Homo-oligomer: A and B are copies of this chain.
Amino acid sequence: MGAPTGTGNQGRTLDRALDVLECLERARGPLRLSEIARESDLHLATTQRTVNQLVRRGYIQQDGLGYSLGPVILSLAHAFVVNDRLSTVATPILTELSASTGLTSSLFVRSGPERILVARVDGVDPLRYQFPIGRRVPLDLGGGKVLLAHDDDAELDAYLADLPDARLADGRVQTPADLRAELDRIRETGYHLAESERELGALSLTRPVPGHDGGAAAAINLVTTAETTTPEELLALLPEISRAAGAIGARI
C-alpha cells in the first residue's frame, strides 16, 4: 500500500490517473471511491483528487451508485475514428472484402499484451456473437497470434515466460509451449486459422497487415461459424484476405 506504484516512479501522477480510468474501464458498473482506491492501489486522498479532477473534465461521471466513465471519452473516440489513418483506410477495403465473401471482417491493432478491435464490417448472415468495436482481448487466442508471431524471439520469450495455460472455448488447453509451436507455424505460413479458440463454434482466418518497418501492428480477419462454413472453405479465401491486407498495408 504505502510502497511505490511499482513501475519505477516517474510520471507518477499521469500514470495513476490512467490507472483509475482503466480500472473503471474494467468495472462492470459504478465504483465507489474506496473501491477505485483499492483496485488501483492508491491512497484514498490521492484517488479522490484524481477522480474529482477527471469528473471536472467529464472523463468520469458520478451518480448515486459511484463513479463510472464519462461522455467526454466518446468525444475522444469519435476523433480517433475520424482521424485514424489505418481505420479510415481499412474500412472501405473491409467493406469490399465482406461483400465479396459474405463474411464478417474486422481490423484490430496491438496494444501491449492485448489487441483492440478497431473496425468491423458485418457479413450477410450476422454473427450471433457480435464482437464490439473497442473490445480488448488478449493476444494468445485467435487472431491475436499473428501479431505475436511478428515479435522477435526475445520479446516472445519474455511474453511466454509468465503466461499461464489458456483454456480454449472448446475445452482444449493451450500451454505456452503449444502457443510457441503454433507461432512458429504462423511465421512460416503467414496466416492463422482459428477454430473455436475464443468462441465455441467460431472460425476465423487472420492475416497481418504489413507495415513499412516489416512488422505488423495490425491484422485483419474473416469470421464465420462452423455451422455455415468448413475450415477448408474458409482457407480458400486466403488469397482474398491477403490481397485486402496488402492493400491496406500499401496505403498507410
Q: Is the CB of A70 within 8 A of B59?
A: no
Contacts of A59 in B (CB 8 A): 18
Interface residues in A11-68 by Cβ distance below 8 A to B read 11, 13-15, 17-18, 21-22, 24-30, 49-50, 53-54, 57-59, 63, 68
Looking at the assembled complex, report how far the CB atom of A47 sits from the nearest CB atom of chain B, in whole angstroms: 13
Contacts of A75 in B (CB 8 A): 25, 111, 116, 134-136
Is A226 among interface residues, defined by CB-CB distance under 8 A?
A: no
Report the count of interface residues on A (CB-CB < 8 A).
52
Identical subunits present: 2
Contacts of A112 in B (CB 8 A): 58
Is A78 among interface residues, defined by CB-CB distance under 8 A?
A: yes
Interface-facing stretch out of A79-87, A148-156, A201-209:
A79-87
Is A181 among interface residues, defined by CB-CB distance under 8 A?
A: no
Q: Is the CB of B133 within 8 A of A53?
A: no
Q: Is the CB of A28 within 8 A of B76?
A: no
Q: Is the CB of B116 within 8 A of A76?
A: no
Is A200 among interface residues, defined by CB-CB distance under 8 A?
A: no
Is A77 among interface residues, defined by CB-CB distance under 8 A?
A: yes
Bound form: Cα–Cα A208–B14 in Å? 36
Bound form: Cα–Cα A75–B73 in Å? 10
Q: Which residues in A have some Cβ–Cβ distance to B below 8 Å?
A: 11, 13-15, 17-18, 21-22, 24-30, 49-50, 53-54, 57-59, 63, 68-85, 109, 111-112, 116-118, 132-136
Closest 5 A/B residue pairs (Cβ) = A78-B134, A77-B77, A74-B134, A25-B79, A13-B13
Further 15 A-B residue pairs, CB within 8 A, beyond A68-B83, A71-B118 = A14-B17, A14-B50, A14-B53, A18-B57, A21-B76, A24-B79, A30-B83, A63-B85, A69-B76, A71-B84, A71-B109, A74-B77, A74-B134, A75-B136, A78-B134
